[in-house]
A and B are shown apart, each in its own frame.
Chain A
Amino acid sequence: EVQLVESGGGLVRPGESLRLSCAASGFSFTYYTMNWVRQAPGKGLEWISSISGTGDSMHYADSVRGRFTISRDNAKKSLYLQMDSLRVEDTAVYFCATSRSGAGASSKWFDPWGQGTLVTVSS
């Protein structure tokens, strides 16, 4: 069974750091670009970062660039998100998700998703 399980969420104060993990199973993790997507309370989905299968190409949303770092350990089939200088507006459920691609260069979608882990930034 294909499965993604996030962990590492919790309550932190503004300016502090947190590291999220996503454990993958049931598929060839190395072959897939992986992503982090978040949903703030009462808000929509926001893609925040992606990393290629080899780990040598990363992309970030403007809202987190310079503060968050995505990484992966293919031997451990794990994805990570190091979150530094956290802000109140980073409060959200964070999902990891697997990129899938179609025949077209711009054909990309996410499936499956993990259950999510809640990060709360509050003083």
Chain B
Amino acid sequence: SYDLTQPPSVSVSPGQTATIACSGDELESKFVCWYRLNPGQPPILVIYENGQRPSGIPERFSGSNSGKTATLTISGTLPMDEADYYCQVWDSVTERVIFGGGTKLTVL
């Protein structure tokens, strides 16, 4: 089965740049999206198709996908950005949706 690997946690100081990695075999051949998840809230899509931002998502959120690693970048991180972030792909071989294990972003 296809697996996506994320670091369990990432810490960043307010105003600095946070980068969250998502790795998987031949990931560059897939489209990666990212969700933000706050406790008690539904997931919110923050990036789709590797680097596209949905309307309403601040420009400080960006994404890229190269080689075996996709990256979510949050520039000028705010305390409100503290949340869990999940990457996700569609595995066309098994026709399954795959989520990464999630990364807890701490802003301190």
Q: Which residues of A contact B (CB under 8 A)?
A: 35, 37, 39, 44-47, 50, 59, 61, 95, 97, 100, 102, 104-116
Contacts and interface: CB of A to CB of B under 8 A. Distances in A.
Contact of A59 (B41, B45, B96): B96
A51 to B, nearest CB: 12
B75 to A, nearest CB: 22
A44 B97 contact: no
Contacts of B91: 106
Interface stretch (B13-21, B30-38, B66-74): B30-38
A85 to B, nearest CB: 21
B23 interface: no
A102 B31 contact: yes
B89 A106 contact: yes
Contact of A47 (B30, B37, B42, B99): B99
Interface of B: 29-31, 33, 35, 37, 41-45, 48-49, 54, 84, 86, 88-92, 95-102
Given A45-B86, A106-B30, A116 B42 contact: yes
Given A100-B48, A102-B49, A106-B89, A95 B97 contact: no
| Chief secondary structure at chain A's binding surface | strand
A56 B104 CA distance: 38
A111 B54 contact: yes
9 contacts: A44-B99, A44-B102, A47-B98, A50-B97, A95-B42, A104-B49, A107-B31, A109-B33, A116-B42
Contacts of A95: 42-43
A95 B99 CA distance: 14
